[in-house]
Chains A and B, each alone.
Chain A
Amino acid sequence: MGEIPEHLLKRAAERKAQLEAEKNGGADAAPDAAASQPAAAEVATPAPAPVEEEAPVRTGIAAKVPEFLFQRSKNRRAVLSGEAPASGGGSAGGAAPAAGAAPSGAPAMQGPDGHTHRLLTVVKSGSIQQTKAEAQDKVHTWPHLVSVELGAMLIVAAGLFIFSIFVRAPLLGLADINQTPNPSKAPWYFLGLQELLTMFHPMVAGVTIPGVALVLLALTPYYDKNPSNNPENRKYAIAMMTIFLIFWAVLVIIGSFFRGQGFNFVFPMKDGVFFEL
């Protein structure tokens, strides 16, 4: 539960005190003792009209219901249940309609002073409905985002079409397990690993380093506790990632273009390119 606003607590306390006073007043003094309180009129508590002497002592939630409403419902019930007997006289209906001046027979639809409805409470919107939503600068997905996506898609599709028309995918001779080409190279995205293979034991270069790198990469959000996404505040993270990316890019480029026969260093300008996509 949220906090209850101060003014509502205050009001509830006032009302409780008032009811308490009323009860006390009703018990030892005449009913008009309650009416003498100035607040009583405000909450539409009627000055109890000639009450029947056998009015039961009400407790619990029933104690909170104004007296005249009890009267009214009683009258109404009597009218409904004994339409015929009630027509004879007011004996079944009991006292005349509590506070209103309704003609006999008609249900007592009115509260004190002829009011037909009453104000229960006024809830100020500011205090309970806390609307914190800030207006966001938004645009319609259609057409603004969809058109951008469509444009990007068409450009890439066109590029891919043209490239595929003019550049053939390589297809070398039939695979032969007895004839190892020199050099043998992995697909380009694994050439960084193959490059590491020249420096480390295969278990380190081929399994440990890529495995650890991938796990560290995946867990980045869990150890980077810096909440800011402003580049000014995350120079360290950006530096680390840039080093990481450049490290792999350089390895891949070396593996692709600067390695020739026997996976030895070559210069692409001088010795030619040993690379197939």
Chain B
Amino acid sequence: MATDMKSKNPIEVAKRIGNRMHDSQAMNSIFRPGSVFRKGYTDSPRNRSYVIMNNVLYHLHPVKVKRHAVKVSYTLCLGGLSFFLFMVLTVTGVFLMFFYRPTAEQAWADIQTLETAVYFGSFVRNMHRWAAHLMVLSVFLHMARVFYHGAYKAPREFNWVIGIILLTLTLLLSFTGYLLPWDQLALWAVTVGTNMMGYSPVLRTNVQFVLLGGNVISGDTLLRWYVLHVFLLPFVIVIFMAIHFWRVRKDGGISGPL
């Protein structure tokens, strides 16, 4: 409350504001008691632990990990990068949703408009598409990496199964998104892909009928796949990802060195 000599120097003013914010209830409610944002950070083993412990990252990582787990040459970061690409796809996907209506009459024209008349429209759509292909690739390579390290063995058997489910969901997400531009490429790629489903045992063409919302691809298919692509499949994949990450930690972190 020292009101005597309040400096007009902007650095002093910034410091004063900073100090006041530092002790405010708002600040203290945002950051946990041990957070380095509350008590400052100087490099020490204790503070290194606090950084993780008072951070959402604690959901993903323990305070300490095996030294070899940090080596890029072991994991190539493929699992983490798949997750990162998923986040990129979510963000860019939300942007695309602002400009897109999933009807046979409007979808293709909306993409045209997005590409030509929206700031960064073309760029964001490119990112969404390339990140999607990259994610299929990185999930696939992640699976290969885990196999070659024998990391699916006990106690990690079940997490491998979850991983295969995630791979399948990734392919489905990519495939449902493929139809949405509603151009010739989308229509016929999906036609080829879904024709095979008509040969499912027992259910036969019923599978195809349910997925397409009819006997051939139409505007109904577009709506159906749009809902799957932007709502149902992401919802399901997030749940499986949560289980996947949780099990990585519960099963003792990533597998040991060869």
| A and B associate | yes
Binding site for B on A (CB under 8 A): 136-146, 148-149, 152-153, 156-157, 160-161, 163-165, 167-177, 179-181, 184-190, 193-194, 197, 201-203, 205-207, 214, 217-222, 224, 226-231, 234, 237-238, 241, 245, 276-277
Asked if residues A171 and B112 are in contact (CB atoms below 8 Å), the reply is: yes
Asked if residues A228 and B174 are in contact (CB atoms below 8 Å), the reply is: no
Query: How many CB-defined contacts (below 8 Å) exist between A and B?
Result: 206
Asked if residues B199 and A202 are in contact (CB atoms below 8 Å), the reply is: yes
User: Would you give 13 A-B contacts (Cβ < 8 Å), ordered by A?
Assistant: A139-B65, A140-B49, A142-B57, A148-B70, A160-B130, A165-B123, A169-B130, A173-B184, A175-B182, A175-B186, A190-B193, A202-B198, A241-B144
**B 142-172 to A, binary, CB cutoff 8 A, 1 in contact else 0:** 0010011111111011001100110010010
A139 to B57 alpha-carbon distance, docked (Å): 16
The 8 closest A-B pairs by CB, nearest first: A206-B196, A229-B150, A221-B157, A175-B187, A164-B126, A169-B129, A203-B199, A152-B77
Knowing A189-B174, A202-B199 touch, does A140 contact B189 (C-beta < 8 A)?
no
Residues on the B chain within 8 Å of A207, using CB: 196-197, 199-201
Tell me if B115 counts as interface (CB < 8 A to partner A): yes
Asked if residues B125 and A169 are in contact (CB atoms below 8 Å), the reply is: yes
Cross-chain contact of B88 among A140, A143, A160 (Cβ < 8 A): A160
A247 CB to closest chain B CB (Å) equals 13
A41 CB to closest chain B CB (Å) equals 51
A149 to B185 alpha-carbon distance, docked (Å): 36
Shortest Cβ distance from A234 into B: residue: B150
Residues on the A chain within 8 Å of B157, using CB: 221-222
Residues on the B chain within 8 Å of A146, using CB: 57, 61
Asked if residues A202 and B196 are in contact (CB atoms below 8 Å), the reply is: yes
Tell me which of B22-30, B79-87, B236-244 binds A.
B79-87
Asked if residues B130 and A163 are in contact (CB atoms below 8 Å), the reply is: yes
A177 to B104 alpha-carbon distance, docked (Å): 11
Tell me if B12 counts as interface (CB < 8 A to partner A): no
A180 to B216 alpha-carbon distance, docked (Å): 13
A256 to B193 alpha-carbon distance, docked (Å): 14
Tell me if B15 counts as interface (CB < 8 A to partner A): no
Which residue, of A145, A171, A234, has the highest number of chain B Cβ atoms within 10 A?
Answer: A171
Residues on the A chain within 8 Å of B211, using CB: none
A166 CB to closest chain B CB (Å) equals 9
Knowing A184-B192, A190-B175 touch, does A138 contact B183 (C-beta < 8 A)?
no
Cross-chain contact of B175 among A172, A187, A230, A231 (Cβ < 8 A): A187
Shortest Cβ distance from B170 into A: residue: A189
B72 CB to closest chain A CB (Å) equals 6
Shortest Cβ distance from B124 into A: residue: A164
Cross-chain contact of A137 among B67, B130, B183 (Cβ < 8 A): B67
Asked if residues B160 and A220 are in contact (CB atoms below 8 Å), the reply is: yes
A151 CB to closest chain B CB (Å) equals 8
Residues on the B chain within 8 Å of A180, using CB: 188
Knowing A139-B70, A173-B184 touch, does A185 contact B201 (C-beta < 8 A)?
no
Knowing A142-B48, A193-B196, A218-B160 touch, does A156 contact B81 (C-beta < 8 A)?
yes
A229 to B157 alpha-carbon distance, docked (Å): 13
Shortest Cβ distance from B111 into A: residue: A171
A234 to B258 alpha-carbon distance, docked (Å): 12
B218 CB to closest chain A CB (Å) equals 8
Tell me if B233 counts as interface (CB < 8 A to partner A): no
A200 to B144 alpha-carbon distance, docked (Å): 27
Knowing A140-B45, A156-B81, A172-B185 touch, does A177 contact B127 (C-beta < 8 A)?
no
A214 to B150 alpha-carbon distance, docked (Å): 18
